[in-house]
C-alpha cells in the first residue's frame, strides 16, 4: 500500500476502533496522522426508516468511540448534512481544511449507500484526494463464494458448506489493536446527543441499560454468552423467555463488534475450531446467515428496492386491510404469542428470532398482508434493524425469498406458542391481562373457556385454519 499523508477515516456502521480495516490501514500508512469522521444525515436516515432507538444507540456508541479515538490521539469530526451544501462538497471541504489527502471507509452494499459513496468518491478524486474503500462488514467479501457454474449461491446449505470450507482453511484473524498516534492538535467536534425527527418509543434511560454503549460492553456480552448460553445454544435459542441467544445483533448491525471478533470468540470457546462443538457451530451458522443475506443484497440489488427475490411472487394479491394491519402492529390480534411479541418489540426495540418468524408468518400468511409492510414496521422499531437480515427474514417468512419457507408450510401461532413458550412466561410478561390463566388456556384463551371479555383481550381476528387455506390457494394461483 502506498503511503498517505494525513487520512480521514469515515465511520459509518462500524463504530469501533478495534479490528477496523480502514482505521488500521490508515494508521499504518499515514505519515501525518489520522482524523475520524462521522456524518449525521437525518434526511438519509429518515428515507431509510431508521428506528429512533437505533439512532439513539448510534449516538451513544459514537460518544464511546470518540473517547476511544481520543485516547489513541485521533480527533473525531462531524458533518451534519442539514448544514452542508452537499455531502461530497462537505467531505472535500473538511479534508482540505484538515490537510487530509486520503479518505478511507468501509463499503456499504445497499443501493442508496452505493450511490452516495460513488458521488463522494467521484468528487474527492476530482479534488485530487485519494479514496480507499475496504470490505469489512462480513468475513468473506461479497462475490467471494460462487457455485461451480460461477453464479451466486441461492440456497443456504451449500453456501454454508462453501463458506466453512474457505474459512476453515484460512481463518480470518482479527487485526492487532491500534496503537496511539502522535497527537495532531486538532479538536474533536461536539457530538449531538439527539437528532431531530428521531424520538425513541422506548424510554432512553431504559434503552441505555438494555443496550449499553461501547466496545467494552459488546465484548463483555460476547464473553458472557460464550461462557453461559453458547454451549446449550441448540436448545436455548428457540425459547424467548430464556437468555439463550447472544443479544449481539444491535452491536453487529452498528459495527461495535466485528464478525471476525465473534468468530474468534467462537474458536476460542471450542478448542480452536468454530465448527467442532454443536452449540458453537450452530451459533456460527447464524453468523453465516448474516453473511449470506449480505452477499445476496450485493448480488441482487432489487432486494434493496423492495422487490421480491422470487419475481413471480410480485403477482400475489395481498390483502389491503388497514384494520388487521393495525391489530398486528398494536399486539391485538387475539393470538397471545403474536401479541406478546409485538408488544415486546414496541417496549424494547428487540424481538427474539423465533418470534420474528412467528409474527412475520402470521402477517404474511394468516392476514395475507404484504411482507413489505411488516419489513417497514420492523425497520422503524428495531434497535438492530439491518436491511439485509430484515429483508431476508421477511422474504423467508413470506415465501417470496431465496431458500424461503415453502408457501404451504404455515406456522400455527397457537402451537408455536405452546411449543416455544410452554410455561407461558413470555406471554404473561407482555400480556398481564392473561397472566392469571393456566398454561393451556393462556395460549388460546377465548376458545379454551377463559372468562375474559373481548375488551380486556381481543378474540382472534382470523380463523387460522381458514386463513391457512386462503394463503395456500393465493400462492398456488400464481404458480
Ligand X SMILES: Cc1cc2nc3c(=O)[nH]c(=O)nc-3n(C[C@H](O)[C@H](O)[C@H](O)COP(=O)(O)OP(=O)(O)OC[C@H]3O[C@@H](n4cnc5c(N)ncnc54)[C@H](O)[C@@H]3O)c2cc1C
Kindly list the residues in this chain that would bind ligand X in the complex (CB under 6 A): 237, 245-249, 252-253, 286-287, 289-290, 293, 352-353, 356-357, 360, 378, 382, 384-386, 389-390, 392-394, 397
178, 66 contact by CB (below 8 A) = no
Identified catalytic residue from 112, 353, 412, 439 = 353
Of 293 and 430, CB closest to ligand X: 293
Please give the Cα distance from 128 to 132 (Å, whole number): 13
Of 61 and 102, CB closest to ligand X: 61
- Report the nearest approach of ligand X to the CB of residue 289 (Å): 4
Please give the Cα distance from 107 to 346 (Å, whole number): 31
Catalytic (active site) residue 353: yes
Catalytic (active site) residue 371: yes
- Report the nearest approach of ligand X to the CB of residue 219 (Å): 14
Identified catalytic residue from 70, 172, 206, 286 = 286
Identified catalytic residue from 58, 394, 396, 430 = 394
Burial of 97 (0-12, 13-18, 19+ CB in 10 A): exposed
Catalytic (active site) residue 283: no
- Report the nearest approach of ligand X to the CB of residue 9 (Å): 24
- Report the nearest approach of ligand X to the CB of residue 241 (Å): 14
Catalytic (active site) residue 289: yes
Of 198 and 411, CB closest to ligand X: 411
Q: Which of 365, 358, 137, 361 is CA-nearest to residue 252? A: 137
Of 38 and 378, CB closest to ligand X: 378
277, 230 contact by CB (below 8 A) = no
Q: Which helix (H) or strand (E) holds 227?
A: helix 215-227
396, 404 contact by CB (below 8 A) = yes
391, 303 contact by CB (below 8 A) = yes
- Report the nearest approach of ligand X to the CB of residue 380 (Å): 11
Catalytic (active site) residue 394: yes
Please give the Cα distance from 335 to 446 (Å, whole number): 10
Q: Which helix (H) or strand (E) holds 358?
A: helix 353-361
Please give the Cα distance from 371 to 220 (Å, whole number): 35
Of 224 and 307, CB closest to ligand X: 224
Point out the residue whose Cβ comes nearest to ligand X: 393
Active site residues: 286, 289, 318, 353, 371, 394
Amino acid at each position: 500500500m502506498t503511503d498517505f499523508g494525513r487520512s480521514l477515516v469515515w465511520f459509518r456502521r462500524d463504530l469501533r476502533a478495534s479490528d477496523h480495516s480502514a482505521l488500521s490501514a490508515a494508521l499504518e500508512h499515514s505519515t501525518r496522522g489520522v482524523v475520524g469522521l462521522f456524518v449525521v444525515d437525518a434526511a438519509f436516515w429518515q428515507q431509510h426508516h431508521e428506528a429512533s432507538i437505533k439512532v439513539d444507540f448510534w449516538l451513544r456508541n459514537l460518544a464511546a468511540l470518540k473517547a476511544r479515538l481520543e485516547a489513541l490521539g485521533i480527533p473525531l469530526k462531524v458533518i451534519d448534512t442539514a448544514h452542508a451544501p452537499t455531502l461530497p462538497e462537505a467531505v472535500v471541504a473538511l479534508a482540505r481544511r484538515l490537510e487530509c489527502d486520503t479518505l478511507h471507509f468501509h463499503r456499504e452494499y445497499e443501493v442508496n449507500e452505493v450511490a452516495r459513496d460513488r458521488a463522494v468518491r467521484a468528487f474527492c478524486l476530482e479534488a485530487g484526494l485519494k479514496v480507499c474503500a475496504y470490505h469489512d462488514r462480513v468475513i468473506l467479501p461479497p462475490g467471494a463464494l460462487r457455485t461451480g457454474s460461477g453464479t451466486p449461491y441461492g440456497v443456504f446449505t451449500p453456501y454454508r458448506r462453501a463458506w466453512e470450507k474457505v474459512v476453515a482453511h484460512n481463518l480470518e484473524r482479527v487485526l492487532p489493536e491500534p496503537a496511539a498516534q502522535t497527537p495532531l492538535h486538532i479538536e474533536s467536534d461536539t457530538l449531538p446527543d439527539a437528532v431531530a425527527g428521531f424520538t425513541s418509543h422506548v424510554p432512553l434511560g431504559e434503552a441505555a441499560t438494555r443496550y449499553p454503549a461501547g466496545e467494552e460492553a459488546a465484548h463483555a456480552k460476547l464473553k458472557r454468552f460464550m461462557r453461559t448460553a453458547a454451549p446449550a445454544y441448540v436448545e436455548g435459542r428457540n425459547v424467548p423467555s430464556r437468555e439463550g441467544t447472544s443479544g449481539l445483533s444491535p452491536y453487529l448491525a452498528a459495527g461495535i463488534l466485528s464478525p471476525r471478533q465473534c468468530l474468534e470468540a467462537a474458536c476460542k470457546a471450542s478448542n480452536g475450531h468454530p465448527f467442532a462443538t454443536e452449540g458453537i457451530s450452530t451459533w456460527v451458522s447464524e453468523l453465516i446467515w448474516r453473511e449470506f443475506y449480505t452477499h445476496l443484497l450485493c448480488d441482487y440489488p432489487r432486494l434493496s428496492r423492495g422487490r421480491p427475490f422470487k419475481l413471480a411472487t410480485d403477482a400475489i394479491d395481498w390483502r389491503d386491510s388497514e384494520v388487521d394491519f393495525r391489530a398486528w402492529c398494536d399486539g391485538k390480534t387475539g393470538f397471545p404469542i403474536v401479541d406478546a411479541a409485538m408488544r415486546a418489540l414496541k417496549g424494547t426495540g428487540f424481538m427474539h428470532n423465533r418470534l420474528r418468524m412467528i409474527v412475520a408468518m402470521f402477517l404474511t400468511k394468516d392476514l395475507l398482508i404484504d411482507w413489505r409492510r411488516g419489513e417497514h414496521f420492523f425497520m422503524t422499531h428495531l434497535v438492530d434493524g439491518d436491511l439485509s437480515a430484515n429483508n431476508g427474514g421477511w422474504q423467508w417468512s413470506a415465501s417470496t425469498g431465496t431458500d424461503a419457507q415453502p408457501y404451504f408450510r404455515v406456522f400455527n401461532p397457537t402451537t408455536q406458542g405452546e411449543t416455544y413458550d410452554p410455561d407461558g412466561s413470555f406471554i404473561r410478561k407482555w400480556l398481564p391481562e392473561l397472566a392469571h390463566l393456566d398454561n393451556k388456556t393462556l395460549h388460546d384463551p377465548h376458545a379454551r373457556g377463559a372468562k375474559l371479555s373481548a375488551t380486556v383481550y381481543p378474540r382472534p381476528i382470523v380463523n387460522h385454519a381458514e386463513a391457512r387455506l386462503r394463503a395456500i390457494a393465493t400462492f398456488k394461483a400464481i404458480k
